[in-house]
Amino acid sequence: MTKRNLQGVTLECVQGDIARQPDMDAIVNAANAELRMGGGVAGAIHRGAGPELERECQPLAPIQPGQAVITGAHNLPNRSVVHCLGPVYGVDEPAEPLLAACYRNALELAEQNELGSIAFPAISTGAFGYPLEAATQVAFKTVLEMLPQLSSVKHIRFVLFQKADARVHEEVLERLLD
């Protein structure tokens, strides 16, 4: 899978499960506003973390589209979970800056907490209906723009559940870097 070193930061795309990234300091949750279990990424993360995660989340909820909050990872093998609420496509508008804000705010939280590595799922591209390729472009553009501001974060991983989605990420990244 694609792995690039850009301005001292390793950027990679892998096929896999966001809840099984033991070498990353933080994993990002594609959360719901209430920061409850839900399905998809949120279901996998809450199942892996155990019920204490929902308990820690409750005082932080609800969150707004584009917002990110950070918690412990409980039974997951990571230090932290960053919960982002992506836009519901066609409902939370304008979608692009709201999705970009998720990636920017997540990276800012990682920096504030002096984390070295963070893994993202494709926020909003499941239940929230954001077209994958458009969402991928927003995600990579935002991350590439943030690179000069990063100091503690040295490793950013995109974890795609499906092989076809991982391929789209690789293609979009190649195009942006050309």
Nearest CB to ligand AR6, comparing residues 18 and 110: 18
**How far apart are CB 7 and ligand AR6 at their closest, in Å?**
26
Q: Which of residues 3-32 bind ligand AR6 (CB under 6 A)?
A: 17-19, 30, 32
CB within 8 Å of 148: residues ≥ 6 apart: 7
- CA–CA separation, 61 vs 32, rounded Å? 9
Closest C-alpha among 154, 134, 151, 160 to residue 17:
160
Closest C-alpha among 152, 15, 6 to residue 79:
152
Tokens of 168: 């789209």
Q: How many residues bind ligand AR6 (CB under 6 A)?
A: 24
Kind of pairing, strands 80-84 and 68-72? antiparallel
**How far apart are CB 164 and ligand AR6 at their closest, in Å?**
10
Window 98-137: contact mask with ligand AR6 (x via CB under 6 A): -----------------------xxxxxxxx---------
Contact residues for ligand AR6 (CB under 6 A)? 17-19, 30, 32, 38-42, 44, 86, 121-128, 159, 161-162, 165
